[in-house]
Amino acid sequence: MKSIINTLIFLSSVLIYCQENDDFSKRLKAINTQTVAYYNVDGINFSNQTFNYEFSEKNLKKIYRKFSLKESDLKIKDDSLNYNNLYITKSVNVIDNINQINSYYFVEDKNKTISVFWFGYYNKIDKYFERKYINRILNHEIPKEVFESRTIDSIDFAGRKIKLGNNCYWTNINTIQCPYNGEMNWSVHKTMESAQQSISNQFNITKSQKTGKIISEEEIDVIFEGTETKAKKVIYDFTGLKSLLAGMSGGKTLTIYYVANKVRGNYVSCCMSFWNNDTITENGLAPLLEEVMQIKK
C-alpha cells in the first residue's frame, strides 16, 4: 500500500498518435519533480532522469552506483534506438509466480548528456514499449497535459476531474493518500486483460507480505465510476505484528478493494484502502473511496 511543448511539437505529436492508432495521452500520467520525471501508463511505472555528464565509461560508472547497479551487471547496446546507449535488465522473484523486472537505459541524448530511463513491471518484459517511450520522451512528444501538479487540489481520474482540496498528497504516480480519508492507486489500460492482471498482481503481492495476514476475502457488488461491477474486498490484519505501516497510521486493520472495469472508453485497475480508524461514512467507505465507488445495496 505503499508510500512526476510549443505548438509545433504538439501538432506533430498528434499526427504520430493518429498514425499509431494509440492515443496513449488519455492513459498516460506523469509527475515532474526538480530532478526526475515519473510516468504511469497501462499499469507500467517508468522514470527519466538526466545527468549533466558526458557519455563516457568513467561517468557511467558514477551513475550505475546511484542506481545500486554493479560494474559486473551485463550491459548491452540496443541497436534499435537511434542513440548511443547501454541497457541493463534485472529480475527479482517477489513471490512464487511473480517476478519484478527492472530495466535501465543509459542514453546519450541530443545534448550529449546522459539520460537514464527506468522501467518497472512484473513477469513479462516489453522491449517495444521501452523503446517507444524512450523515443517519445527524447523527441519531446509527451503532451504537457499529462503532467499532474505536485500539489493537489484536484486529480484527473481516468478522464474525470475530482476536486479533493488540499489535504491529500501523491505518494507515487496515480497513487494518492488523504490522511484519515483513504488511499488509492490506479492505472489506465488499453485492454481489460491488462487491467485485470494489474490488480491480480497487487493482490498476490499483498497476500504474500509477512507484515500481516488476510483475515477475510470476498467478492462484492459495487458501482465503480457509474457502472455496476465486482470488487474483491480484503481485510488485512496487523494485530500483534510489528509493522511500520500500522505504527504510523495507528490502525489495526486495513480494508482493501481491488477493481478492474471499463471507464470512459479505456480500462482502469484500481486498488483502494482505508484503516479501521479512518473516517468511515454511513455507506461503509472512507470519503476518498466514495469519490469513485459505492457499495451496491
**pLDDT value, residue 125:** 87
98-153 pLDDT, tens digit per residue, is: 888 999 999 999 999 999 999 998 878 889 999 999 999 999 999 999 999 888 88
Kindly state the percentage of the chain with pLDDT values over 70: 88
**pLDDT value, residue 246:** 52
**pLDDT value, residue 211:** 78
Q: CA-based Rg of the chain, rounded to a whole angstrom?
A: 20
Instruction: Fill in the amino acid letter for 295.
Output: I
How does the average pLDDT of the chain come out, rounded? 86
Q: What is the DSSP letter of 138?
A: H
Domain ranges of the chain: 7-147, 167-295
**pLDDT value, residue 70:** 87
Mean pLDDT of 249-273: 91
In sequence order, the β-bridge partners of residue 163 are 154
Q: Which three cell numbers stand for residue 259?
A: 477493481
The beta strands (E) that lie in 96-174 are given as: 98-108, 114-122, 147-148, 154-157, 160-163, 169-172
**pLDDT value, residue 251:** 72
39-84 pLDDT, tens digit per residue, is: 999 889 999 999 999 999 999 999 999 999 988 888 999 999 999 9
Q: Which three cell numbers stand for residue 3?
A: 508510500
7-147 CATH fold: Protein Transport Mog1p; Chain A (3.40.1000)
Instruction: Indicate the range of 2-6, 129-133, 181-185, 264-268 predicted with least confidence.
Output: 2-6
Q: What is the DSSP letter of 291?
A: T
Q: How far apart are CA 257 and CA 12, in angstroms?
A: 40
Architecture of the domain whose range is 167-295: 3-Layer(aba) Sandwich (3.40)
Q: Do domains 7-147 and 167-295 have the same CATH topology?
A: yes
* Whether the predicted pLDDT of 242 surpasses 60: no
Q: What are phi and psi of 278, to 5 degrees?
A: -75, 170
Instruction: Indicate the range of 6-15, 139-148, 151-160 predicted with least confidence.
Output: 6-15
**pLDDT value, residue 240:** 59
